[in-house]
Structure 1
Amino acid sequence: MNITPNDLSAFNCTENYYKTIFNNVVYTDGMKYFFTNGGDNGAYWFLDYILFEILPKCGDEEFISIEVNVEDNKASIKAHNGNYNYLYDQNIPYTDLADGTWKFWIEIGECGGKSVRVILLPSEH
């Protein structure tokens, strides 16, 4: 299934938080839907990309906004701190995500009584 950015607008809030390989990072229902259905074979590669590329370069920022602009199977990925202080900027030569602008946030939250970074859709905030 290859979803579009508009398909994610139906998500608001979340009922579940999903663990990553890092104890201090979780993601929401909307992100699970994106990771499972984005592109031709899912987009779990983007979860790895967030964990191993974007987060290490963003340091201890409390809020990170990520935009993935896709056109003709190429992507530009940018991350900023909410004040448009860009922390990450990279071009990807190939993706099977649908064309459009995909937006994601990472913010500090609480899960299971501990402080975590939450990867979410803006509509889930």
Structure 2
Amino acid sequence: MQPSNLQTTKPPRLDSAALSVALSQFTGTEQWYRHPLNRRMLYTDGVQYLAENGGQQGAYWVLDKVALEICPLLDSKKQAFGALSLTVNPDQTAVMIVTDGNDQLLLRREMRYTDLQNGEWRFYLIEEGDHRVMLLPSEY
């Protein structure tokens, strides 16, 4: 016997403005999260919130991109600090730019599609002991 009207309802996706407001509320972190594929990479509550609430299915791909491409790049260039800007356009294309924080370009990647909400999403990547920490500017 199968349930007839059993549906799982997912809360509606936050729009860009609501996600931006929610992220601006993070001013520190109560918990550190470790990336499963790059154990040196830690991230904050605010970054975890974006990963859970960005896009239709979450935006964990952003964390994977940072863990597997950007952190190793910063390490190879001996950069203690990186500024990441992810701009999502209305046509759902995106551009990811990493600088040294002083407008020195370290990486630029164009993406043909993402379901992350439109807007400009910013993150910092800082070296903290043996770890690389990804955080929101408001958490810095």
Asked if Structure 1 and Structure 2 have the same fold, meaning a TM-score greater than 0.5 normalized by the shorter chain, the answer is yes
Equivalence map 1:33-52=2 (5 Å): 33-52=49-68
Distance 2:25 2:70 in 1: 26
1:124 — aligned with what?
Answer: 139
Deviation beyond 3 Å, 4+ runs, structure 1: none
* Mapping for residues 66-105 of structure 1, pairs under 5 Å: 66-72=84-90, 73-105=92-124
Partner Cα separation in structure 2 for residue 76 and residue 15 of structure 1: 30
Kindly report the root-mean-square deviation, in angstroms, between the aligned alpha carbons of the 2 structures. Answer: 1.4
Normalised TM-score (structure 2):
0.80
Identify unmatched segments of 5+ residues in structure 1: none
Tell me by how many angstroms 1:12 deviates.
0.4
Aligned residues: 121
Gap runs ≥5 in structure 2: 1-12
Between the aligned partners of 1:12 and 1:76, the Cα distance in structure 2 is 26
Larger Rg: 2
Give percent identity, aligned residues only: 36
In structure 1, C-alpha distance between the alignment counterparts of 2:110 and 2:79, rounded to whole Å: 22
| Local SS of the residue matching 1:45 | helix
Q: Which has the higher strand share?
A: 1
Q: 2:79 maps to which residue?
A: 61
Higher relative contact order (CA 8 A, sep 6+): 1
TM-score of the aligned structures, taking structure 1 as reference length: 0.89
2:83 maps to amino acid? S
